[in-house]
Amino acid sequence: MTCPQCKKDTVQQYRPFCSKRCADIDLGKWFSGDYAVPSEDPEDQEAAFEAMTSLLRTQPRDS
């Protein structure tokens, strides 16, 4: 098995990754939204729309 980040051989301690660094890179991608599980659930879409609308309302506008 190879590391999904760098393609080196995996290490049992960090499997499926080769190191803590590659595991942390992957975790960072999940946190930043680079990876997402698609959903067609209308409730999920509505919640995402409401969250974005709320965020846009709280952001200061450029003059």
CA dihedral 6, 14, 38, 46 (to 10 degrees): -120
Residues at the binding site for Zn(2+) are 3, 6, 18, 22
**Largest Cα–Cα separation, the chain:** 54
| CA nearest neighbour of 5 among 57, 37, 45, 21 | 21
Residues of the binding site: 3, 6, 18, 22
